Amino acid sequence: MVNFPDHVRPLRLSLRLAAACLAIFLGSVLPATAQRRVDYEVAFPNAVHHEAEITATFAGVPAGAPLEVRMSRSSPGRYALHEFAKNVYNVRAVDGQGRPLEITRPNPHQWDIAGHDGTVRLSYTLFGDRADGTYTGIDNTHAHLNIPATFAWARGMETVPVVVTFRKPAAGWRIATQLVPTADSSVFTAPHLQYLMDSPTEISPFALRSWTVPGNGTPYTIRLAVHHDGTEAELDAYAAMAQKIVAEQIGVFGEPPAFDYGTYTFIADYLPHVAGDGMEHRNSTILTSTRPLATGAVANLGTLSHEFFHAWNVERIRPASLEPFDFERENMSGELWFAEGFTSYYDDLFLRRAGILSDEEYAAGLSGVVNTAVNAPGRAFFSPVEMSLQAPFVDAAVSIDPQNRRNTFISYYTWGAAVGLGLDLTLRSRFRGITLDDYMRAMWVAHGKPARPYTLADLRRVLGEVTSDTAFANDFFSRYIEGRETVDYEALLARAGFLVRKANAGRPWLGAPLAEQEGRVTVDAGTLIGSPLYVAGLDAGDVILRIGDTPVATVRDVEAVIAARAPGDTLPIEFEQRGERKRAELKLTEDPRLEVVTYESAGRPVTRQMREFRRQWLASRAGR
């Protein structure tokens, strides 16, 4: 996901023309670099068993050194390692004359191919059975391809134009992708490797809706390709809501991004056999969910809203730390609290502004954000910037050893959304007529539109410029972004007539979920620092035998004892820990968890000023 020049054009014809001309003039002395090109062909003869047959032809390979072909270890928009080489087998290579070439393996991700004649044709079988934004899912319903999980590539050929031919598994299926179309509906191009890798592709009998949005000069086409098992009417209703969300987002920035090739494509799979995900790309997004449109439209729109906002925030307003994206390693950025977190703040906000959520529903959505920012123990360990740096360990990362993340980690999505909410409400309260929308637009003008990747210092500087108050920007960043403080959500949300209150006021809690199996009640997760179970010395896996005078056989037994007590009460607890029977004093505390509700539902008066503040914040901006 590098930043591309403003006008990227299909290269296939001009490349062929250039190569032909050079061939005529230079004959046999044609340097290898003159006709460098990469061709992929992918077919699905064994789709029911989740296999693709892939041939990659690298032409114009410099003579001498072996060609180093690799599978990616990471995928754009993901920050952990995913080791895509694990699903590749039957690898073989021939040269331009079809002669077999020897392959050596210097590491698990790489195939070195020596002795070629300037052309290497590599073939392999790919297994893929997970349709989402990171992996590849092939079956009898579709071929859903995330490109880093699918195509091997060659070092030294990263800037070479690419041609991809998809052999469709079934007649009548279509192809949805941000790759550049050609006259042949099965053949697409990419200007270089980074664009290819950024271009997930869905081949299936999907339904398509499209509309246009005004651009600078020519309008852009927005396509919504949805592979689902619902009705046409459900999809029409969904597309109408998607169109509203797109209009709200353009209203914030004042213009859509300059989509390459004039088109943005939502590629959605709403099917029982996909894995839920949403993954942004430069001119498209993957949206996968098991929620059908009939019952899951609003939740699915939340993801759609999130990913479309990324077309500005992360795809074009781009952290320098992710530039260029490195497919050979994990990618680390200290700015994910902004790139992901502010995007999370905005995704539901657009659903409210588009009239899809009510004030009450929007308030309920803020509960988790505010509660986490205020109560999560992780705040004692890391700042939002430092949480962002943890992404390679948490972003769909796989490990078998347990971690203490319940105590030490707060998702940069959630905390970042809380910072976004806090900054928006602070700006609206302190600076007349200045909002987070103005800040996002300023970042767009300073860094997104001119493709100038930003640093943390840029984020701070632009906030100072938007507010004309450098001291405010410095203070906000040092306390809430590089520091670990939280804003006063209760006071700020009260200005909009939103109430922050304890969700279970006056009721005690334990501080960890419990599970029961065959008459044994166990602590089901690490206990939270400072919570009653933690202080009493219990941790994950411990078996609760007796609480107060009550022998414990079910979770209900524990709940009944706790419900009859008050915060501050102390009672004995007996438990088994690593095979040892133990006894401790359990001192109950009030459940600290917070919720956000409207003043209306709390029976509090909503003043004229509150109504006006709320209107300015939550009203539609589409068409402004």
Q: Among residues 280 and 437, whose Cβ is nearest to Zn ion?
A: 280
Q: Among residues 198 and 340, whose Cβ is nearest to Zn ion?
A: 340
Residues 6 or more apart whose Cβ sits within 8 Å of residue 156:
61, 62, 67, 68
Yes or no: say if 532 and 508 are a contact pair by the CB < 8 Å rule: yes
Q: What angle do CA 541, 543, 545 make, to 5 degrees?
A: 170
Among 269, 340, 348, 557, binds Zn ion (CB under 5 A): 340
Residue 589 token pair:
């505390």
Q: Among residues 260 and 340, whose Cβ is nearest to Zn ion?
A: 340
Q: Among residues 187 and 286, whose Cβ is nearest to Zn ion?
A: 286
Give the binding range for Zn ion (CB under 5 A) out of 51-59, 335-343, 416-424, 485-493: 335-343
Distance of closest approach, residue 313 Cβ to Zn ion, in angstroms: 9
Q: Among residues 344 and 486, whose Cβ is nearest to Zn ion?
A: 344
Q: How far is CA 473 from CA 415, 421, 457, 464, in A?
A: 18, 15, 11, 5
Distance of closest approach, residue 43 Cβ to Zn ion, in angstroms: 33
Distance of closest approach, residue 315 Cβ to Zn ion, in angstroms: 10
The answer to whether residue 395 forms part of the interface with Zn ion (CB under 5 A) is no
Distance of closest approach, residue 388 Cβ to Zn ion, in angstroms: 12
Give the binding range for Zn ion (CB under 5 A) out of 322-330, 333-341, 516-524, 541-549: 333-341
The strand pairing partners of 89, in sequence order, are 125
Q: Among residues 335 and 340, whose Cβ is nearest to Zn ion?
A: 340
- Report which of 373, 406, 387 is spatially closest to residue 530, judged by C-alpha positions: 406
Residues 6 or more apart whose Cβ sits within 8 Å of residue 203:
142, 143, 144, 145, 166, 168, 169, 173, 174, 175, 176
Strand ranges for 411-535 from DSSP E: 498-502, 508-509, 514-517, 520-523
Report the C-alpha gap between 227 and 141 in whole angstroms. Answer: 9
Residue 321 token pair:
């730390």
Q: Among residues 340 and 557, whose Cβ is nearest to Zn ion?
A: 340
Residues in region 153-192 near Zn ion by CB under 5 A: none
Distance of closest approach, residue 303 Cβ to Zn ion, in angstroms: 9
Give the binding range for Zn ion (CB under 5 A) out of 251-259, 338-346, 493-501, 586-594: 338-346
Distance of closest approach, residue 426 Cβ to Zn ion, in angstroms: 23
Q: Among residues 340 and 395, whose Cβ is nearest to Zn ion?
A: 340
Burial of 506 (0-12, 13-18, 19+ CB in 10 A): exposed
Yes or no: say if 202 and 208 are a contact pair by the CB < 8 Å rule: no
> What residue number has its CB nearest to Zn ion?
340
Residues 6 or more apart whose Cβ sits within 8 Å of residue 160:
36, 37, 38, 60, 192, 193
Distance of closest approach, residue 306 Cβ to Zn ion, in angstroms: 5
Q: Kindly state the number of chain residues that form the binding site for Zn ion, as judged by CB under 5 A.
A: 1
Give the binding range for Zn ion (CB under 5 A) out of 36-44, 245-253, 339-347, 532-540: 339-347
Q: What angle do CA 482, 468, 428 make, to 5 degrees?
A: 75
Distance of closest approach, residue 279 Cβ to Zn ion, in angstroms: 8
Residues that bind Zn ion (CB under 5 A): 340
